[in-house]
Structure 1
Amino acid sequence: MLIIRFCPRSGLCPTFRLCRSRWNLQLVPISDAFSGPLVVDWKNASELDQSWEEIIESLEQENPTVPKRLVLPGGMGSWLEQDNKPGLEDILARELDMSAPDWKALTGKLSSRSFGEYALSSDGEFPSELPQSAHYLLQDAISLAEKDVHERLAGEGTRDNQSLRFLTWLFHMCPEWIVPHLLDGAEAQTGNHTFVQSGGSRGLMLQGIGRTARDPKHQERAFRHLLSLPLERWKKDQIACAAFMLSRTDSAPLLLERSEVNFLAEVAEMKVLEAIGRDFTSAYIYGPYLLVGLLRWRLRDPWALVVGQDPVADRLASATRELAMFLSKRKFHDGRLERYHRILEQVCEELEGKGSNPDILIDLESLASGK
């Protein structure tokens, strides 16, 4: 019990009246802030050695967890020869000697994972061990790809999106001037933009934006486009775009208003529930991926989307538990299915504000990419 000390000279604070009985003091507050008398039992009280500041701090409730920003790791594996197959450095050296580089081959190596690592991190950073000669080769390839994209925008250059795709797999190393053109493509009707001549190319626009957009102005424009779409228009690529931005940057979550958070939560809930009763596919990872990315809005409001305090969080938790229960009734012949079930349980912990897996977004991204 907390002891209240009284000064023997000045007595009680003038906002209280003192009533004595045999073993207790009754403090009758004059302030309307108290609903009734405060009674101190001096006989059974014990003294605390802590200061007032320490006592107040110990009574403060710990903030809900915020999922850690996702940084996909980069490493040397993709740069080096493996199983008699050339690494990225060798492919760059070979293709830069050609009049027209094989952008598809270069992109394939950039987008592949070796031992769980890309050639560049999602922050666009080189592996620390990479020799400077490889840096120069990649920079030369970037310049050639930029030249081709410039020519395409002028009505010349190559006839497909391979050089553009290559640039988007540089993650945040992608030249910033590319992103507005990806946004133009995402917003355009099919056939009305050089980059969007077929329906399938829109997926590159959206996922490319998610991989490359690091400027808050570009992120805000991307959200403006996504949030203008009705719920039924939200498919894998739209969800991936939002999830990538929310999970890989600290600026994107701060751009959202509460009403926009509620809409994105509805999208995530829809995608989670859509997976119930169906065979497992990596496409169904994007619902939980968006959900956990959205919890990073706690950077703006620390107590947002917490189960028991926020009805939106209650609905998300209910949907996630329902999917986890469905999966628990299936035999885990597929290792990915077992991992998915475990991650869904961790998603519920995050919704409760008690996240236990700091790498949950990395795990979700690995499942979404089929790794």
Structure 2
Amino acid sequence: MAWIHAHHITEEQLDAAIQHVINAYNRFALPRYWGSGRHAAADGTKWDLYEQNLLSEYHIRYGGYGSIGYYHVSDTYIALFSHFIPCGVWEAVYILDGLLKNASDIQPDIVHADTQGQNAPVFGLAYLLGIQLMPRIRNWQDLVFARPTAGAQYVHIDRLFGPPVDWDLIARHVPDMLRVALSIKEGRIAASTVLRKLSSYSRKNKLYQAFRELGRAVRTDFLLRYLHEADLRATIQAATNKSEAFNGFAKWLLFGGEGTIASNDRAEQRKIIKYNHLVANCLIFFNVFRMAQGLHILQQNGQTLDAEALAALSPYGTAHVNRFGRYELDLTRQPPPIDYALLAHLPTDSL
């Protein structure tokens, strides 16, 4: 197994396997009760590494030595993409990569995150890429809103607003900004690479400043909506809760070595994160398959299924999984047939 892992398994192959599971999962009817697939939440969690390791860093926010597993989780609970990033990197740099590299049948265009997943340039770049960035921002009241013009005044909320947007700067650099966005769309350069390079010389880089000004305008519009719409706040909270729940679910599955990644090789560390992502998605797929079977039996026995109750279910259950049991390799064993159409005809207003 170690020889096969070293010589025949690559990150690209693991991503392809993950994509295959996601596409199969998307054929089930049950996840439709959990989300539309248009939303995804990005969040990171620290994976422990040995302290005596040149690649290991101490993370101030999480505490301890390690690196960050960064996941994009659909509102249907399945994880779409995973990164392995070093500590000390602003997570917002990677928030767009997961959506752009995701080649599965689930294609969200709205991404949620926590405070680490946002800043003004990311808002600007996401806007040009056609992605709606809607993060859950801690202490958002400390952010300064952008005025559309210098003379704009507002009743009751004027103290929230600071300097106006520099529209002239944006207008001068629109061609360059669009070229950057098109290069990212075509896959010629990663969004994270652009954001890292632009922020390295942010005080002198006019292109960075133009993205920041556009981002200030877009973020102000989002924050005003966030203040006004309770449903939007509830949607963001629900999406980020799913992402955080997936972090715990994935860590529960990496139980060997007390959850510490033992490899000192960065490529191996990235592959371990991908393996764990694949196993987590496989268990999510299995859980939904069994849940659909059980619900279908109840329906066949005359039980009325409540659509609201179905929407409250989660495929992150682990009580039925014996991680330390006996494992047998039986190459003649055939999996049971999968009926993706179970619950497909259940009306959404069934009570």
TM-score range (shorter-chain normalised) is under 0.3
Larger radius of gyration: 1
Q: Which has the higher contact order (CA 8 A, sep 6+)?
A: 2
Normalised TM-score (structure 2) = 0.25
Larger strand share, 1 or 2: 2
